[in-house]
C-alpha cells in the first residue's frame, strides 16, 4: 500500500492481468522523464503541434462588469483540438510509442479526450479505438463523426448509465483482453497509479506557463487559480506548480447540476464518500450500499461520479478549496463570457468562470484571479441552441 499514494488516496485497485502492464508503464514513465530526448520531443510537439504556450489573457471587460478582482483567462481553448486534453494525450502517446505499443484505446465523455486521442493517433499512424457511452454518442454526435474522420473507431457502450463511467469500465475490460499490444490513454488524473501522477505531470505545463506569464504581466502570484473538476486534470495541471505557494488559493469547481440538494449533480467531493473504483481510492458519489450512483451535469465532461485521488488529498488536507456551481449558473457564465469578451467557453470551463464571477466582486482590485479556460464551446453551441428552443444543424 505504498505505490502512488496521495495520503490514503490513489493506489492500484485493478485486476491482476493489468498489474504487470502497470508496473511496466510505471518504469517506462520514470525512464522517459529522465530522458532528455523524450522531454525535448514533447516540448516540440507542445509548441509546434498543440500551439503552446497558450495565452494568458486579461479579461478586462469581464473584470469591469463584475467590479473587483482582476480576472485572467488561461486560454487552453486555443490549443489544437480545442481543449487542455491534447497536452496529456501527446505525453501518453509519445510514451506508448516508446513502449512499442501499436494500438491506442481511450474513453470519452463529451468527446474532447476522444478527439484529442484520435488526433494524435492519426499523427503517429497508430490504431485507435474510443469507448463512449451510447447516451453520449447521441448527445455529442458531431464529435463521434470527428473521431471517425480522424480514422478512429468509436465503440458505443450500452451498459449501466451509458455515460463516461461506463465507457471507462469498458475501456478497462477491453484493455485486459489486449494488455500486451494496447496502450490505454486515460483522459484525466484518475485510474490506477501511475496515471494520476503522469497525467498531472503532462498537464502541469498549464500552471508553469501561468506562473511565468503572470510574473511578466503583473510581477506577482495570483490570489487564486480556479478550474472546473471532472476527473480533475485541467485543475491539477494549473494547481500543481502553485501547491508550494501557500498564499495562492487553489479552487476546484464541481458540477452541482440541478443542485446539491437534489440527486442530480456530479459533486464527488461535496456529496461523495471515500471509496475504491476505477483503480483508485478516492471520493465517489455512491449510495448507502456502496453502489456507484448515477450522476448528472449539463456538461458531459463533468458528468463523472469520482474525482482524481490527488484532489481528494488536497481536499482532505485543506490545501485545496472545492466548491460547486449549478447548470443554471454555468450557462449564465457561458453567455456572460461570450458577450463581454467574445469568447465562447466549453460548458465545463463555464463552471470555473461562474465561480470567478461569484467571488470577483467580493475581492479588491489588486487581487488577481486566474481561471483555467479548459476548452472552447463549439461542441456545446448546438445543444445550447436546442435548450433555448432553436433548431440548428451541425
Partner 1 sequence: MVNRMDILQRKKESGQKALVTFITAGDPTLEATYELVHAMAQSGADLIELGIPFSDPVAEGPVIQRANVRALKHNISIDMVFDLVARLRVNLEIPLVFLMYANSLFHYGAEAFFKKCRQYGVDGVILPDLPYEEQQEFLPYAEKEGIAIISLVSPLSGSRIGPIAAHAKGFLYCVSSLGVTGIRTGFDTDFESFMKEVGNSTHIPAYLGFGIATPEQARQLMDYCDGIIVGSALVKQIEESRTIDEAVESVAHLTRSLRRALDGE
Ligand X SMILES: Cc1ncc(COP(=O)(O)O)c(C=O)c1O
281 is a catalytic site residue? no
Cα gap 29→297, rounded to integer Å: 34
Which one of partner 1, ligand X, none interacts with residue 231, CB within 5 to 8 A by kind? ligand X
Which one of ligand X, partner 1, none interacts with residue 229, CB within 5 to 8 A by kind? ligand X
Provide the binding-site residues for ligand X, judged by CB under 6 A.
83, 109-110, 112-113, 188, 228-235, 301-302, 346, 348-349, 374-375
329 is a catalytic site residue? no
Are the C-beta atoms of residues 374 and 234 closer than 8 Å to each other? yes
Candidates 102, 153, 173, 339: give the one binding partner 1 (CB under 8 A): 173
Angle 186-189-193 from CA coordinates, rounded to 5°: 80
Which one of partner 1, ligand X, none interacts with residue 180, CB within 5 to 8 A by kind? partner 1
Which one of partner 1, ligand X, none interacts with residue 113, CB within 5 to 8 A by kind? ligand X
Catalytic residue (one of 74, 170, 374, 379): 374
Asked whether the bond before 194 is cis by omega within 30 degrees of 0, the reply is yes
- With cell 464527488, the residue in question is 268
Catalytic residue (one of 26, 28, 107, 129): 107
Instruction: Supply the minimum distance, in Å, between the C-beta of residue 106 and ligand X.
Output: 11
Which one of partner 1, ligand X, none interacts with residue 261, CB within 5 to 8 A by kind? none
Toward ligand X, which CB reaches closer, 169 or 233? 233
Binding mask 103-142 for partner 1 (x = CB under 8 A): ----------------------------------------
Cα gap 352→305, rounded to integer Å: 18
Instruction: Supply the minimum distance, in Å, between the C-beta of residue 19 and partner 1.
Output: 5
Are the C-beta atoms of residues 88 and 233 closer than 8 Å to each other? yes
Give the contacts of 148 (CB within 8 A, at least 6 positions apart).
Answer: 154
Candidates 166, 303, 310, 327: give the one binding partner 1 (CB under 8 A): 166
Which one of ligand X, partner 1, none interacts with residue 276, CB within 5 to 8 A by kind? partner 1
Subset of 16-45 contacting partner 1 (CB under 8 A) = 16-17, 19-21
Cα gap 207→203, rounded to integer Å: 8
Bridge partners (DSSP) of residue 249 are: 224
Instruction: Supply the minimum distance, in Å, between the C-beta of residue 186 and ligand X.
Output: 10
In the chain, the DSSP E strands lie at 5-6, 9-13, 56-58, 70-75, 103-108, 127-133, 153-157, 182-184, 224-228, 249-257, 273-277, 279-284, 320-326, 368-373
Cα gap 301→24, rounded to integer Å: 29
> Whose CB is nearest to ligand X?
375
374 is a catalytic site residue? yes
Catalytic residue (one of 74, 85, 101, 211): 85
- Could you say whether residue 165 binds partner 1 (CB under 8 A)? yes
DSSP 267-304: -HHHH-EEEEETEEEEEE-B-TTSPBPP---SSGGG--
At 97, list the grid cell.
510509442
- Could you say whether residue 194 binds partner 1 (CB under 8 A)? no
Give the contacts of 28 (CB within 8 A, at least 6 positions apart).
Answer: 95, 98, 99
Which one of ligand X, partner 1, none interacts with residue 166, CB within 5 to 8 A by kind? partner 1
Which one of partner 1, ligand X, none interacts with residue 176, CB within 5 to 8 A by kind? partner 1
- Site for partner 1 (CB under 8 A): how many residues? 39
Are the C-beta atoms of residues 83 and 112 closer than 8 Å to each other? yes
Burial 243-278 (b: 16+ CB within 10 A, else e): eeeeebbbbbbbbbbeeeeeebbbbbbbbbeebebb
Report the chain's C-alpha Rg in angstroms.
19
Instruction: Supply the minimum distance, in Å, between the C-beta of residue 66 and ligand X.
Output: 22
Instruction: Supply the minimum distance, in Å, between the C-beta of residue 45 and partner 1.
Output: 31
Instruction: Supply the minimum distance, in Å, between the C-beta of residue 277 and partner 1.
Output: 5
Binding mask 267-306 for partner 1 (x = CB under 8 A): ------xxxxxxx-x--x-x--xxxxx-------------
Active site residues: 85, 107, 374
Enumerate binding residues for partner 1 (CB under 8 A): 1, 3, 11-17, 19-21, 159-160, 165-166, 169, 172-173, 176-180, 273-279, 281, 284, 286, 289-293
Amino acid at each position: 500500500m505504498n505505490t502512488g499514494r496521495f495520503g490514503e488516496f490513489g493506489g492500484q485497485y485493478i485486476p491482476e492481468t493489468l498489474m504487470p502492464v502497470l508496473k511496466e508503464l510505471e518504469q517506462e514513465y520514470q525512464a522517459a522523464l529522465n530522458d532528455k530526448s523524450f522531454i525535448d520531443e514533447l516540448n516540440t510537439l507542445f509548441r509546434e503541434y498543440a500551439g503552446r504556450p497558450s495565452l494568458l489573457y486579461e479579461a478586462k471587460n469581464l473584470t469591469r462588469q463584475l467590479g473587483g478582482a482582476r480576472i485572467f483567462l488561461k486560454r487552453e481553448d486555443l490549443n489544437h483540438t480545442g481543449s487542455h486534453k491534447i497536452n496529456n494525450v501527446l505525453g501518453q502517446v509519445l510514451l506508448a510509442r516508446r513502449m512499442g505499443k501499436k494500438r491506442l484505446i481511450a474513453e470519452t465523455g463529451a468527446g474532447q479526450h476522444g478527439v484529442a486521442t484520435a488526433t494524435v493517433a492519426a499523427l503517429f499512424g497508430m490504431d485507435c479505438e474510443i469507448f463512449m457511452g451510447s447516451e453520449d454518442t447521441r448527445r455529442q454526435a458531431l464529435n463521434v463523426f470527428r473521431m471517425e474522420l480522424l480514422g478512429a473507431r468509436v465503440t458505443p457502450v450500452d451498459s449501466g448509465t451509458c455515460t463516461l463511467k461506463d465507457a471507462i469500465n469498458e475501456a478497462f475490460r477491453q484493455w485486459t483482453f489486449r494488455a500486451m499490444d494496447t496502450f490505454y490513454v486515460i483522459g484525466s488524473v484518475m485510474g490506477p497509479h501511475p496515471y494520476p501522477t503522469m497525467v498531472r505531470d503532462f498537464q502541469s505545463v498549464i500552471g508553469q506557463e501561468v506562473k511565468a506569464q503572470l510574473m511578466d504581466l503583473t510581477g506577482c502570484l495570483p490570489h487564486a487559480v480556479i478550474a472546473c473538476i471532472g476527473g480533475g486534470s485541467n485543475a491539477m495541471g494549473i494547481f500543481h506548480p502553485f501547491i508550494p505557494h501557500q498564499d495562492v488559493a487553489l479552487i476546484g469547481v464541481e458540477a452541482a447540476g440541478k443542485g446539491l440538494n437534489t440527486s442530480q449533480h456530479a459533486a464527488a467531493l461535496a456529496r461523495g464518500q471515500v471509496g475504491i473504483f476505477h483503480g483508485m481510492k478516492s471520493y465517489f458519489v455512491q449510495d448507502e450500499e456502496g453502489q456507484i450512483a448515477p450522476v448528472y451535469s449539463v456538461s458531459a465532461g463533468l458528468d463523472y461520479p469520482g474525482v482524481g485521488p490527488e484532489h481528494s488529498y488536497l481536499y482532505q488536507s485543506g490545501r485545496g478549496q472545492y466548491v460547486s456551481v449549478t447548470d443554471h449558473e454555468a450557462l449564465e457564465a457561458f453567455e456572460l463570457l461570450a458577450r463581454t469578451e467574445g469568447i465562447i467557453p466549453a460548458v465545463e470551463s463555464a463552471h470555473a468562470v461562474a465561480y470567478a464571477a461569484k467571488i470577483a466582486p467580493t475581492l479588491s482590485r489588486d487581487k488577481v484571479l486566474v481561471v483555467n479556460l479548459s476548452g472552447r464551446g463549439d461542441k456545446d453551441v448546438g445543444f445550447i441552441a436546442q435548450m433555448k428552443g432553436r433548431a440548428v444543424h451541425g
